[in-house]
Amino acid sequence: MRRVMIPWSGGIRNATVGPWRLSLVAWEGSQVLPVANRSESVDRGLLNTTMVMQHSGMDGNIPPLDLVCVGFDLTGIANAVALKERNGLSKDTLFLESQLEAFWKPLRSTPASRLRISFLNDLITSENPRSPFTFLNYLHATKRLILYANSSQLRPSREMFSDYLRWCATRLQAQVQYGKMVTSVQPLRDGKGDVAAWEVVFVDAVTGEQNAVTAKQVVYAASNHPHVPKVLRAPALQTLVLHSSEYLQAIPTLLRDNPRARIAVLGNGQHAAEAFDQLHGIWGKHEVVWFTKDAVLRGDDETPFLLESITLPNSPEAQTVPPEIRRRAVNAAAPVTSSSPIEPHLLRQIYDAQYDFSVKEKDPRMWRFQIRFQHEVVHAERMADGRVRLFVQSPENPNEPATFDAVICATGVEKHAHYRALEPLQALLDGPGITVDRDYHINFRKGVLAPGCGIWLQGSLVDGADQSDDSLLPTLAERSRRLAESVMHRRSEQTRSEEERSARL
């Protein structure tokens, strides 16, 4: 057993943590980034008391926290707002966020300058338009309401919406520890053998130190991590391969150092199209080739009628299920024309640009900006001159080489990485795998949990084509409302159980 210090501004308690079974590496491919001032961004708010926890059970003298929330990005902030609306965000609530505070981004970066949805699809408006956390109240509080109204924009810029999320995070005054990657959630049993709390084990992204904290309730907002194809994961390629959610900061430096850089874009659908179009809009002499598996680029089917059927279902049965399930049912009834659709306006913009190139040059392989359909990268290697050589498979050529200075992967995100941290719960589940109910609470076997104890998992119901922030926002407030009401309901069960015990003679 060893003693650890748990960063927690609400006061530290003395804690003992048992032997660890997991590696200090939280996620495959994770990187440790430097922090300019570690004392401010990581160690700020260290405790002056000591929190005591036992790896194998509960200590009745040391109460666990009320709630630990894993993740403080878009979903995590929405959950915090929903809990705050119900007076459920107590001082014994802790958020663990894997991003370092100096690099924290609440909204996933994409090349698109504006959201694809209305500003009314914010964190709370559809559930409570009078909430102090609405986008309109943010505009009023920051003295931007008149300016925004004069712009006649229904869709806010991503920069402004990110600032709105930061504003909400500040107003929440939540206890957040950044740079903490959760590696395991372990059940802790009380004297009756019931699971009464959870031990959340996490690793510090800077120091690699492994710590833990206990809580009666855990909300796991399953974050999606950038996915890079296996052929591009070699350590030698690390400085040459960028994900579409991260590349915007690197491109100016690349083009400044090499104005004639050749850049490859890999992927299908909206994010690949955004990256290709954004690079086309940068003045210079660089060249871009977009490799896509699709035979043709298609527009999306996200019409107002489809969105209404998801957010405002007609039947009472549909209203009881989570919005992710409703979207899945709608897509099954009327399948989209493409597995990787693109916004029609962006599609037209790309087509017009390609047409302009065709007027000046008949051979598409001579264009500075090319789209290679039905092309897939099957191998990659770093060259002696520091560039990357891609070997591309197409119907005409099974192994065509091409050399680039950088590769941008618009290849989506990793799903279900959270299952690694939740593996210790396997013996408690009501079934062979992790499933959730309509309020995102994990389905445990009956009688396993003590009153008030529980784990909620968000993100497991989302389909692969429905992982962007733009797709999430229209139903985000409902998702968070369902979760918050379930959390508060289980807390009331614990209160009733304690009242019944105290009433006994």
- Per-residue HEC secondary structure of 124-184 comes to CCCCCCCCCCCHHHHHHHCCCHHHHHHHCCCCCEHHHHHHHHHHHHHHHCCEEEECEEEEE
In this predicted structure, what is the pLDDT of residue 10?
34
- Residue 385: pLDDT band with limits 50, 70, 90: very high
Question: If you compute the radius of gyration of the chain from its CA atoms, what whole number of angstroms results?
Answer: 25
Spatial CA neighbour of 138 closest among 152, 119, 118: 119
SS (H, E, C) 37-49: CHHHHCCCCCCCC
30 pLDDT above the threshold of 50: no
Report which of 217, 80, 174, 84 is spatially closest to residue 494, judged by C-alpha positions. 217
Q: Domain residues of the chain, as ranges?
A: 65-225+414-503, 230-298+338-409, 304-333
Cβ atoms within 10 A of the Cβ of 474, count?
20
Instruction: Work out whether strand 241-243 and strand 2-3 pair parallel, antiparallel, or are unpaired.
Output: unpaired
- Which of the two residues, 343 and 204, has the higher pLDDT score? 204
The C-alpha atoms of residue 333 and residue 450 are separated, in whole angstroms, by 41
Q: What's the sign of the alpha-carbon dihedral 406, 417, 26, 235?
A: negative
pLDDT for residue 503 is more than 70:
no
Is there a contact between 401 and 390 (Cβ–Cβ < 8 Å)?
yes
> What pLDDT shows up at residue 487?
97
| CATH superfamily ID and name for 65-225+414-503 | FAD/NAD(P)-binding domain (3.50.50.60)
Confidence of residue 304 (pLDDT cuts 50, 70, 90): low
Residue 328: pLDDT band (50, 70, 90) is confident
Q: Which of 202, 346, 196 is nearest to 280 (CA)?
A: 346
Question: Does residue 36 surpass a pLDDT of 90?
Answer: no
Q: Directed axis angle between helix 469-503 and helix 74-85, to 10°?
A: 40
**For the segment 354-383, what is each residue's pLDDT rounded down to a tens digit?**
999 999 999 999 999 999 999 999 999 999
Rounded CA gap, 245 and 109, in Å? 5
Q: What is each CA distance from 168 to 74, 131, 137, in whole angstroms?
A: 11, 11, 10
Q: Which contiguous run of DSSP H or E holds residue 85? A: helix 74-85
Dist CA 241 CA 250 (whole Å): 11
Top pLDDT among 342 and 57 is at 342
In terms of pLDDT, which residue wins out, 235 or 298? 235
Tell me the pLDDT band of 258, cut-offs 50, 70 and 90.
Answer: very high
CA 200 to chain centre: 19
Task: Tell me the C-alpha distance between 66 and 89, whole Å.
Answer: 9
3-state secondary structure of 187: strand
Give the CATH H-level superfamily of domain 230-298+338-409.
FAD/NAD(P)-binding domain (3.50.50.60)
Task: Determine what percent of the chain is predicted with pLDDT higher than 90.
Answer: 58
Q: How far is C-alpha 161 from the geometric centre of its chain's CA atoms?
A: 16
pLDDT value of residue 505: 53
Q: What is the mean pLDDT of the chain?
A: 82
Gap between the Cα atoms of 244 and 271, Å rounded: 7
CA 141 to chain centre: 27
Give the global pTM.
Answer: 0.76
Select from 228, 230, 298, 292 the least CA-distant residue to 266.
292
Higher pLDDT, 404 or 313: 404
**218-233 mean pLDDT:** 86
For 101-111, the pLDDT digits (tens) are 988 888 876 66
